[in-house]
Structure 1
Amino acid sequence: MGAAIEREATAVLKDAEQLAKVDTIEELVALLIFTVIALTAIWVLYRLDSAPVWELAKVDEFTKAVDGDRVLFAGSWNPPHAGHVAILRALARRHGHVYACVGHNAKKTYLVDAEQRTQLVRVVVDADPVLRNRVTVVATAGYVWREAKRLKCAALYRGVRSWRADGFSETVLHVLNLVGPLVLGPCLRPVATRYLAADAAHGDCSSSEVRRRVAAHEPLEGLVPRAIRADVRRLYKRGGDKDA
C-alpha cells in the first residue's frame, strides 16, 4: 500500500511540476505581450505629445534650413487653396526638397478624383517661382507613411487651421502613422510628424470653404491661387462634396 501511495504521489508531483512549467511559460508569454503593448502605448503617447505644432509665421525659428533633406506635406487638396501654398512655400525655403502628397481615402467619396486634384496641385506648383523645381507632386491611395518611407523623407508635415479645430482628426491620423510602420512595415521606424498651424492671413482657409463658395457662386480671390481658379470653379460647381 505504501509503495502504491508513493508511486501515486510521485506521479501527481510530476504532473504538478509539468503543469507549473506550462503555467510559467504561459505567464511569461502573457507578461511579455503585456509589456510590449504597454511600452508601445507609452511610446505612442510620448510621440503624440512631443509632435511639434508650429505657427506657420514662425516656422523659420524652429526648422533649420537643410539643403539635402526631403520632407512630405500630405493632404487631400480637395481643392488646393492659399493655405496649402503658404505651407509649401515655407517648407520649400527650409528643406532640400518637398513632396506635395495628394491622398485618396477609398472609404470616402470625392466629387473630384485624385488624378484631377493632383493635376490642380501641379498647375499651382508650376505657376509659382518659389515652388517650381523645389516641389514634386505625388499621389497615393495607400498609407501616407508608406509614401514618406518610399521617398526617404525626414519628416511628414500636416497643415492645421488650429489644433482646436483639427486636433482630434489629426491625432487619429498620427496614431496610424506611428503604429502602421511598426505593425505593417513590419518594424519600420516611423517618419516624424510635424504640424504647421495657419497664420492670421490663412486662418480661415479650408477646402470646405472653397467648395462652399463655389456652390454659392461667391468670389474665390484670396482663397484659391489664380492659376487654378477657373478649373476649381468648373470642377466643383457640380455640387457639394461628401468629403470634408
Structure 2
Amino acid sequence: MMIHLLLFAALLSAFIPLSILLYRIVSPTILSFPWQLPSGSSSASRRKHDKTKTVVFAGSFNPPHWGHLVMIRYLAERYGRVICCIGVNPNKRYDVTPQTRAQILRDMLSGGDDGSTRCKNVQVEVVTGYIWRYARTQNASLFYRGIRTWSADGQDERQLQILNSWGPLLLGPLVWPLQTIFLEGDPKYRHVSSTVTRQLCAKIRKRRLNGEVEVHAELEELTKLVPEWVMDKVVDAYGR
C-alpha cells in the first residue's frame, strides 16, 4: 500500500508541472496592443517587483525598426533590466550579420543626438547557441517575443515556444523553463519586413551612387520604418 501511495505521489508530482507546460503551449500568453503597465493601488507592489526583474526580448531584428523600438521601450519602462538577444546559427550565412544588426539596434536605442529617448536599462547581445540557456545565466525571469499577430506568426512561434519550454528539461541544464510572453505589435508597423526595407534602401543607395541628391521622398518613407538617426546605417547595411 505504501509503495502504491509513493508511486501515485511521484506520478502526481510529475503530472502537475508537465500540465503547466502543456497549458502554456496550448494557451500562450499574448499581450495585444496597446500594452498596459500594471495600474491601480493594488498593483504598486507588482510594479515595484517588476523593477527587480531581468527579462529577455529575443528576435532576429532583421532589420531593427520602429515596431521593435516601441516594444523595447514598453519593456524598459516596466522592468529593471531588458536584454535584447539576437541568436546566431553558426551554420547559416547572413546577408546582414547579427553583429551589424546588433549595432544598429544599439544606435537606435541611444535615442539620437539628444538621447531624449534613450533606453538606459537595455542591453543588446548576440548569442550563439540556445537563448534560453543564455537567459538563465543572466537570471532572467521572463522570455518575450515580438509578433505581428498570433494568427500571422503563431505557427512559427509555437515551434520556438516548444523548444524554449522543453529544451531545459530535455537538453539541460535541468531547470524550470522560463515563461514566454508574446507582444502583438503596433498595427502601424506590422507591414515592416526585411524585404520592404531592402527594396527601399537599395533604391536610395542606387540613386546616391548615381549622384542624385534629391531622395527626400524615399528618405521620408524610410523614416516610417526606422528612426532618422539610424537611417544611413540601415541604408548601408540593407541597400546592397
Which interval holds the TM-score relative to the shorter structure? Answer: 0.7 to 0.9
Number of the residue aligned with 1:205: 192
**TM-score normalised by L of structure 1:** 0.75
Indicate the structure (1 or 2) with the bigger Cα radius of gyration.
1
What is the CA-CA distance between 1:106 and the residue it aligns to? 3.0
Q: What is the aligned length?
A: 205
What is the CA-CA distance between 1:212 and the residue it aligns to? 3.3
What is the CA-CA distance between 1:184 and the residue it aligns to? 1.6
What is the CA-CA distance between 1:87 and the residue it aligns to? 0.3
Q: Specify which of 93, 97, 105 is matched with residue 109 of structure 1.
A: 93
Rounded to whole Å, the distance in 1 between the matches of 2:184 and 2:232 is: 28
**TM-score normalised by L of structure 2:** 0.76
What is the CA-CA distance between 1:231 and the residue it aligns to? 0.7
Number of the residue aligned with 2:108: 124
Cα deviation digits, residues 119-158 of structure 1 (max 9, x gap): 1111111225444321111110211111211111110100
1:98 aligns with 2:82: yes
Superposition CA RMSD, Å: 2.6
Rounded to whole Å, the distance in 2 between the matches of 1:106 and 1:114 is: 11
Cα deviation digits, residues 203-242 of structure 1 (max 9, x gap): 223334322322344431111111211111111111xxxx
Number of the residue aligned with 1:6: none
Number of the residue aligned with 1:187: 174
Rounded to whole Å, the distance in 1 between the matches of 2:119 and 2:23 is: 37
What is the CA-CA distance between 1:117 and the residue it aligns to? 1.2
1:83 aligns with 2:67: yes
* Contact 2:197 2:238 survives alignment (8 Å): no
- Unmatched tracts of structure 1, length 5 or more: 1-34, 239-244
Number of the residue aligned with 1:141: 128
Q: Specify which of 223, 234, 237 is matched with residue 236 of structure 2.
A: 234
Q: Percent identity?
A: 35
Secondary structure at 2:165 match in 1: helix
Rounded to whole Å, the distance in 2 between the matches of 1:58 and 1:49 is: 22
Q: Specify which of 133, 141, 156 is matched with residue 169 of structure 1.
A: 156
Question: Is the alpha carbon distance of 1:221 and 1:83 closer, same or farther for their aligned partners in structure 2, counting shifts above 3 Å?
Answer: same
Compare 49-58 and 139-148 and name the one that shifted more. 49-58
